[in-house]
Structure 1
Amino acid sequence: MSVKWREMSNHVFQTIEKLLTTSSTAVLYLDIGDFWQKESDPSFHASLASLVDSSERKSVTQFRFRRDAAAHLISLLLQHLVIASIAHVAFDQTFITRKPDGRGKPVPSSGDFAKLLDYNVSHHGGRVAIGIDVTSDVRPACIGIDLVDLNTAGLAIVDDFRDIFSLSERIAIKTHVDPVLQHRYLFSFWALKEAFTKAIGTGLTADLLAIQFSNVPLLSESCMYSDSAKCHFHADLLAWKFQLYFLENCFILAVATPTSKLLCHTSTSVERILLPDLLSSVSVDIPRPTTTSDAD
């Protein structure tokens, strides 16, 4: 099966444009469903992989588990889709590189356009998300996101995280005696630290004990969004905005962006897209797969 990039103009592009008209930051996420198990056409994944360059194809093959490889491939397609949409260029003219500062954060390599857009990706538990931040007049683009599937995340014992959570953070987490609530609260802290360290490009190699969160809410059906979290880095309060979302009652999404007085009240637009829409957006002859979540 040979595949070709589709010309721009479809539902996913319209979704991106709509989200960014209401906020300078947006998150798209989707359920890859049983895409990673597709066996009816052995060339299906290879055909999709042909839409990205050789180094990106190699990165897909380095995952041990097929589900992770499939999520990474979908993540790459999302990155190219976002760049094509915002830069108004053809798909085959979108390129991804790494920041030259050695921190390894992926960025678009389309000349001056790279200065206008920052993005970050995360995948867990069959969901893939991309956070988008566009440069404004008051601050440069910068974003980090983390997505945690509470059903997939293993049982966590708070005191096993002494090298990640400070004493005050562990005390706060332990205030929730109920194991389910404590599990959810712990991974809210985890997602916030991941999102921040990904935004600054260090990942979890940063001094995590120097990054201390407070005023973190317990997400629930009655509290599905909050931007109350504060972060001190080496005891200094950061001028950043930290947003938490409770998605589908089992996913935590954390979004970290620098803030300003003009944008401090603007929340990130979040929208779920369907996998068939993504695949039909990037290729003219990839068949639309069915997933269990398409009818939701």
Structure 2
Amino acid sequence: MNTSTNDPAGKQRPVRTVIEATSAALWQELRNACDDALAQGHAFVAILHGAEAWADARWLTDEDRQRAARFRQDSDRHNFMLGRNLVHYLVRPRGITTPCTFSLGPHGKPFLLDAPAYNLSHSGRWVACVVSRTEPVGIDVETFARLSDYRELLGVIAHPAERRSIEQAPMEHRLALFKRCWTRKEAILKATGKGLVDDLQAIDVCLEQDEPVFDRPASLRLMQLSMPQEEATIALALSPSVSGVVVMRVDASR
């Protein structure tokens, strides 16, 4: 059971700033924008598309290299490396030249000691990272490339209120609502560090609200991040106290 409001008392919706970046100076541009955002009390989101060529194995530990070698698909290997690269360049202090050593939360969520909170997600050729000085924070990006029939999943993941919202919507809007439902739930679970759980039906992510704010399972605001292409759906969960969100999009596939 969870509750939400459009805006908590005394809180305004966070300001969103979207920056279109080039890939010529990818990591420098991302780090500068991230530092500026955090200095203003904002969260920072980096969204990479088609950036496989920027995957750099230098920041992998020996254990990471072994893990990367086990991926059968090149795309999964690249996404794993890009995730490590984003953490290295955005979350760690500048100038560090050794790979990351991660700590794990009680539910296995990785974090860096004495560093901002962060979360990663990837799907297809998309990789996203959110960084915030205020916890909790979670992000989910999905292309749903392997989704056959979303209706088969409604009974597994949807709260009764969510199911009604989807089934009563015009036919042309139902798939988009399902994608919103899925990514919002993933973002919440990643923010709380619990990952996938068996009681997804107990969570109502308030599909009819643009930016719902929740008291449980944690104090969270949900946001959808729109993309120029419709192939990816991205949801963000962050503390309601965060005053703004800066999004930098990098399409290296062009």
Q: Give the superposition deviation at 1:17.
A: 1.7
Structure 1 residues 17-166: aligned runs within 5 Å: 17-33=35-51, 35=53, 48-84=56-92, 87-92=93-98, 95-101=100-106, 103-109=107-113, 113-114=114-115, 117-135=116-134, 141-149=135-143, 152-166=145-159
| CA distance in structure 2 between the aligned counterparts of 1:267 and 1:216, rounded to whole angstroms | 22
| CA distance in structure 2 between the aligned counterparts of 1:131 and 1:27, rounded to whole angstroms | 4
Q: Give the superposition deviation at 1:56.
A: 1.3
Q: Give the superposition deviation at 1:157.
A: 2.8
Q: Is the 8 A contact 1:212 1:231 kept in 2?
A: no
The AA in structure 2 aligned to 1:246 is S
The AA in structure 2 aligned to 1:68 is D
Q: Give the superposition deviation at 1:215.
A: 4.5
| CA distance in structure 2 between the aligned counterparts of 1:96 and 1:145, rounded to whole angstroms | 21
Q: Is the 8 A contact 2:139 2:236 kept in 1?
A: yes
Gaps of 5+ in 2: 1-26
Does 2:244 align with 1:267? Answer: yes
Structure 1 residues 212-251: aligned runs within 5 Å: 212-217=204-209, 226-227=210-211, 229-231=212-214, 233=216, 239-250=219-230, 251=232
Q: Is the 8 A contact 2:138 2:191 kept in 1?
A: yes
The AA in structure 1 aligned to 2:253 is T
| CA distance in structure 1 between the aligned counterparts of 2:42 and 2:198, rounded to whole angstroms | 27
Tell me the SS of whatever aligns to 1:189. Answer: helix
With structure 2 as the length reference, what TM-score do the two structures score?
A: 0.78
| CA distance in structure 2 between the aligned counterparts of 1:199 and 1:209, rounded to whole angstroms | 18
| CA distance in structure 2 between the aligned counterparts of 1:69 and 1:216, rounded to whole angstroms | 37
| CA distance in structure 1 between the aligned counterparts of 2:197 and 2:185, rounded to whole angstroms | 11
For 1:173, which of 157, 166, 174 is the aligned residue?
166
Does 2:253 align with 1:292? Answer: yes
Does 2:234 align with 1:253? Answer: yes
The AA in structure 1 aligned to 2:70 is Q
Runs of 4+ that moved beyond 4 A: 230-233
Q: Is the 8 A contact 1:23 1:268 kept in 2?
A: no
Q: Considering only aligned residues, what root-mean-square deviation do their CA atoms show, in Å?
A: 2.6
Higher Cα Rg, which structure: 1
| CA distance in structure 1 between the aligned counterparts of 2:219 and 2:28, rounded to whole angstroms | 37
Instruction: Give aligned-pair identity as a percent.
Output: 21
| CA distance in structure 2 between the aligned counterparts of 1:164 and 1:230, rounded to whole angstroms | 20
| Structure 2 partner of 1:287 | none
The AA in structure 2 aligned to 1:164 is I
Mark the CA change 1:62 to 1:207 in structure 2 (over 3 Å): closer, same or farther: farther
What per-residue deviation string (whole Å, max 9, x for no partner) do you get for residues 139-175 of structure 1?
Answer: xx2200001225x252333253312112221111112
Higher relative contact order (CA 8 A, sep 6+): 2
Aligned length: 227
With structure 1 as the length reference, what TM-score do the two structures score?
A: 0.68
The AA in structure 2 aligned to 1:120 is N
For 1:13, which of 23, 31, 44 is the aligned residue?
31
